[in-house]
């Protein structure tokens, strides 16, 4: 933790590292007094969560498992951009610190550019005026340790030895910078260049996709763009447009 704090140079208000916990997201959500820019890193997580209460597995020491808490000044209507902002940041940091090219799948996955397998997942949860953003990234995870066929790790992408602290510092430095730029313009993703970076990073855009919504609806069409709230705009086959929020989606897959 001291090494991490020193490398971050005071830009993160509170940095904690624990050997193990249930879920770093759950811990920060429960910590109602946590200051803006709190970070909680866990070596091992016993009850890691994905969206919709799905599980997130991370063998101890093989990945990065952490959450940050931020208290944005930007209006709540723009907070849908936070997982997307995190995805853009992860992509840049992974490319810089591990030399692996990745893309972002709307709304919350990081995929290896080479084979489309999932390298990382992002889980943003709101509690009052705070947002907790959790990140699980597979670093040295082996094939046998990965829970599903569609998962991969930096090591499996040919990254070689990756210094996890260095990678985490690269992520947190970039995340702080992007958050500040975005918050300074009131969460306007176009004005701070985030929307442009996202359009470049996102492999979902321009694809034909099938979305299964939580209410059972199925939407098929071309993923055209992302709007000012971070929602996906899908041009449906009949020429209409569906506006899809991250919270409404059970599955999204290219067709
Ligand atoms: C996510 O959910 O991808 C968000 C994962 C967020 C995890 C972080 S770790 C730190 C913080 N604390 C937490 O408790 N959570 C956050 P979703 O899109 O729902 O994907 C979950 C699905 O990904 C699972 O149902 C599995 O199929 C798959 N999965 C589970 N573990 C994985 C892994 N290590 N790598 C790739 N895929 C995995």
115 and 223 co-located in one domain = no
Number of structural domains found in the chain:
2
Q: Please give the distance, rounded to the nearest whole angstrom, from the Cα atom of residue 50 to the centre of ligand 1.
A: 4
CATH number at residue 111: 3.30.930.10
Name the residue with higher pLDDT: 53 or 232: 232
Q: Please give the distance, rounded to the nearest whole angstrom, from the Cα atom of residue 55 to the centre of ligand 1.
A: 6
Give residue 113's domain range. Answer: 2-200
Q: Decide if pLDDT at 1 tops 90.
A: no
- 163, 185, 200 - which closes a domain: 200
Q: Quick one: which H or E segment has residue 99?
A: none
Predicted interface score ipTM higher than 0.90: yes
Residue of 22, 56, 152 best suited for mutating to test ligand 1, as the one with most atoms within 8 Å of CB = 56
133 and 37 co-located in one domain = yes
**Residues in CB range of 161: below 8 A, 6 or more apart:** none
Name the residue with higher pLDDT: 3 or 198: 198
Q: Decide if pLDDT at 134 tops 90.
A: yes
- Ligand 1 nearest-atom number relative to CA 25: 12
Average pLDDT for 185-199: 98
Residue pointed to by tokens 């609806």: 217
28 and 154 co-located in one domain = yes
Predicted local distance difference test score (pLDDT) of residue 176: 98
Residue of the CA atom closest to atom 15 of ligand 1? 49
81 and 48 co-located in one domain = yes
Q: Please give the distance, rounded to the nearest whole angstrom, from the Cα atom of residue 149 to the centre of ligand 1.
A: 14
137 and 245 co-located in one domain = no
Q: What percentage of the chain exceeds 90 in pLDDT?
A: 95
Q: Please give the distance, rounded to the nearest whole angstrom, from the Cα atom of residue 137 to the centre of ligand 1.
A: 9
Pocket of ligand 1 (CB under 6 A): 23-25, 48-52, 54-58, 65-67, 108-109, 118, 121-123, 134-136, 138, 146-148, 151
**Residues in CB range of 111: below 8 A, 6 or more apart:** 102, 103, 104, 105, 117, 118, 119, 203
Q: What is the pLDDT of residues 73-82, one digit of tens each?
A: 999 999 999 9
35 and 71 co-located in one domain = yes
195 and 213 co-located in one domain = no
CA nearest to 94, candidates 53, 44, 40, 152? 152
Average pLDDT for 199-218: 96
Q: Please give the distance, rounded to the nearest whole angstrom, from the Cα atom of residue 95 to the centre of ligand 1.
A: 21
Q: What is the pLDDT of residues 135-170, one digit of tens each?
A: 999 999 999 999 999 999 999 999 989 999 999 999
Predicted local distance difference test score (pLDDT) of residue 198: 98
226 and 213 co-located in one domain = yes
140 and 174 co-located in one domain = yes
Predicted local distance difference test score (pLDDT) of residue 174: 97
- Ligand 1 nearest-atom number relative to CA 49: 14
Plot region of 9 (φ>0 → left; ψ -120 to 50 → alpha; else → beta): left
CATH number at residue 242: 2.30.30.100
Q: Please give the distance, rounded to the nearest whole angstrom, from the Cα atom of residue 229 to the centre of ligand 1.
A: 23
170 and 84 co-located in one domain = yes
- 200, 220, 245 - which closes a domain: 200
104 and 20 co-located in one domain = yes
Average pLDDT for 76-95: 98
Residue of 46, 50, 105 best suited for mutating to test ligand 1, as the one with most atoms within 8 Å of CB = 50
196 and 208 co-located in one domain = no
Predicted local distance difference test score (pLDDT) of residue 160: 87
Q: Decide if pLDDT at 240 tops 90.
A: yes
For the chain, the helix, strand and coil percentages under 3-state DSSP, each to the nearest 5: 25, 35, 40
Q: Please give the distance, rounded to the nearest whole angstrom, from the Cα atom of residue 118 to the centre of ligand 1.
A: 9
Q: Please give the distance, rounded to the nearest whole angstrom, from the Cα atom of residue 82 to the centre of ligand 1.
A: 17
Q: What is the mean pLDDT of the chain?
A: 96
Q: What is the pLDDT of residues 39-74, one digit of tens each?
A: 999 999 999 999 999 999 999 999 999 999 999 999
């Amino acid at each position: 933790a001291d090494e991490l704090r020193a490398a971050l140079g005071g830009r993160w208000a509170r940095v904690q590292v624990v050997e193990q916990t249930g879920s770093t997201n759950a811990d920060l959500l429960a910590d109602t007094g946590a200051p803006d820019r709190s970070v909680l890193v866990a070596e091992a997580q016993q009850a890691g969560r994905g969206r919709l209460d799905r599980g997130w597995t991370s063998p101890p020491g093989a990945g990065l498992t952490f959450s940050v808490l931020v208290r944005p000044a930007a209006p709540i209507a723009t907070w849908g951009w936070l997982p997307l902002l995190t995805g853009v940041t992860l992509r840049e940091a992974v490319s810089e610190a591990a030399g692996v090219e990745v893309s972002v799948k709307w709304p919350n996955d990081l995929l290896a550019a080479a084979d489309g397998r999932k390298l990382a997942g992002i889980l943003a949860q709101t509690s009052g005026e705070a947002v907790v953003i959790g990140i699980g990234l597979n670093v040295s995870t082996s094939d046998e340790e990965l829970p599903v066929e569609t998962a991969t790790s930096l090591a499996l992408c040919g990254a070689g030895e990756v210094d996890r602290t260095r990678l985490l510092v690269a992520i947190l430095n970039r995340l702080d910078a992007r958050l500040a730029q975005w918050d300074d313009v009131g969460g306007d993703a176009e004005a701070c260049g985030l929307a442009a970076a996202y359009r470049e990073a996102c492999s979902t855009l321009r694809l034909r996709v099938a979305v299964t919504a939580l209410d059972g609806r199925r939407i098929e069409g071309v993923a055209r763009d992302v709007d000012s709230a971070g929602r996906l705009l899908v041009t449906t086959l009949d020429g209409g447009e569906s506006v899809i929020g991250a919270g409404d989606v059970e599955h999204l897959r290219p067709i």
